[in-house]
Amino acid sequence: MKSTRARGSEIVRYGIAIILLFVGVTAFGYRYVSTVLVSPGLVYIPDGSDEEIIDLLRREDIGIERYDIYLMKRYGHPSEGWVRFDSNITRGEFFWLLPRIDREPLRRIVFYSGDTIDDFSLYFGKYTGVQRRDLLEYYYRYSPFVEGGIMAGYYYLPYRIDAKSAVVYMIWKSDNLIRSIALKYGIDPSPESMKRYLIVASIVQKETYRSEEMPYIASVVYNRLKRGMRLQMDATLNYGAYSHDVVTPRRIREDTSSFNSYLYPGLPPEPLCSVTPKALEAAISPAKTEYLYFVKGLFGTHEFSRTYAEHLAKITKIKAQKAKLRLYRSLVKRAKGANGGKKSSHQ
C-alpha cells in the first residue's frame, strides 16, 4: 500500500496536471476566438437551423469550422439576411455580431431562363458594376456544372455586392432547389446524378418557354434516345457563344462539335443554359407518350407526332398556313398603302 505521503504527492501531481490542462485549454480557446476571421465584405446568413447556417458559412470560405456551432449557440441564433463588415473582426466578434448587426437592403437580380453563365455575367456586370471575369472565375470555381449551375429565377442581393458573395449565394440557392426537386421525385440529388437531367432540361428550355409543353418535349427526347435515334434538335446547337443564334442548315452541316445532335447520337456533353424548375421537373418526370417528333406551329405552340409521315404532314400544313398569313399581311399592307394619300371623307 502507498504511504500517505506518496498518495499526497500523487494528488498534487494530478492537481497540477489538471490546472495546466485548464490553463492550456483556456489559452487555446482565447486564442481561437481572438483570431481574425472576417475581412471587410459581405456574408449571407440563410434562414435555417444552426447546422444549416454553419454549412453555408463554410461554403463562403471565411474560415468557419464545424465546431463553431457552439459559439453560435452561445451568442444567439442569427436571422436571415446579408451582413456587411467594414473592418477585420475576430471569430468571437463575428458570432457575437451576427444576431445584432443590421441587415443590408436588397435589390432583385434576374437570371433569365435559356441564358448561359456568360450571358448572365454581361447583364450582371452592367447592372452591378461587378467585373465579368471575376463572376465567371468564381462560378467555375464553385459550381459542379459548366452550365446550368445557377437556376433561372429571381435572386435578392445587396446593392453593394462582390462577385464571390453573389456566386456563392446563387449556387447555394440553386443547389438547394435542385436537391429539393430531386428528393421530390425520389432520385439521387448528387451533381453526378443530376447532370443528365439538367442536360435534358436545358434542351427542353431552349425548345419551349411554355411550361405545359415541357413534359411532352422531354418525352420526345427520351423516346428518341430509347430507340437509338439521333435527337436532331436545333436546341442542342444553341450552346456557348451560339446560345441565341438561329440554327441554319449550313450551321447544322458545319458544326462538328459533340453538341450537334444531327451528327452524333445521345445527349450533348454539358447543359446548354440555365433552366427553370418546371423544365427540370419535366426532365425528371416526362409525359408518357409515343411522340418522336414535334414542330412549332403558326402561333408558337408545338404539334407532336408519333410517325415521320404524320410529322411531314403537319410541317406541310403549317407551311401552308404561314404562306396564307404572309399573303394576308401583304394584302393588308398594300391596301393601307393605296389609301395612304387619300383624305378621309370625314375631314
The Cα 258–Cα 92 span in angstroms is 52
- Confirm if 319 and 296 have CB atoms less than 8 A apart: no
Question: Where residue 38 falls among pLDDT bands split at 50, 70, 90?
Answer: low
Query: pLDDT tens digit string along 128-155?
Result: 999 999 999 999 999 999 999 999 999 9
Enter the DSSP assignment of 105: P
pLDDT in tens, 230-262: 999 999 999 999 999 999 999 999 999 999 999
**What pLDDT digit, counting tens, does each position of 51-69 carry?**
888 888 887 777 788 878 8
Predicted pLDDT at 36: 58
Do residues 211 and 278 touch, judged by C-beta distance below 8 A?
yes
Rg (CA), the chain: 30
Average pLDDT over residues 1-9: 58
If one compares 182 and 332, the residue with the highest pLDDT of the two is 182
What pLDDT was estimated at residue 272? 97
Strand, coil or helix: 297: coil
For residue 101, pLDDT over 80 is answered with: yes
Contact 205, 275 (CB under 8 A): yes
Q: Which whole number is the average pLDDT over 177-188?
A: 96
Residue 152: C-alpha distances to residues 109, 114, 178, 217, 278 (Å): 11, 8, 11, 19, 10
Looking at the predicted structure, is the pLDDT value of residue 191 above 60? Answer: yes
User: CA dist 113 to 120, 127, 138, 229, 317, Å?
Assistant: 10, 18, 21, 27, 31
**135 contacts 121 by C-beta, under 8 angstroms:** yes
Are the C-beta atoms of 170 and 143 separated by less than 8 Å?
no
Total-model pTM: 0.82
Cell of 12: 498534487
Rounded distance, CA 25 to CA 2, Å?
32
> What pLDDT is attached to residue 32?
53
- pLDDT value, residue 87: 81
81's torsion region: left (phi>0), alpha (psi -120 to 50) or beta? left
Rounded Cα gap, residues 301 and 295, in angstroms: 8
Give me 203's grid cell. 434542351
Q: Cβ(186)–Cβ(284) under 8 Å?
A: no
Q: Is residue 21 scored above 50 in pLDDT?
A: no
Average pLDDT, the chain: 87
Phi and psi angles of residue 141, each rounded to the nearest 5 degrees, phi first: -75, -40
Report how far residue 85's alpha carbon sits from residue 97's, in angstroms, rounded to the nearest whole number.
10
Q: Say what the pLDDT of residue 23 is.
A: 43
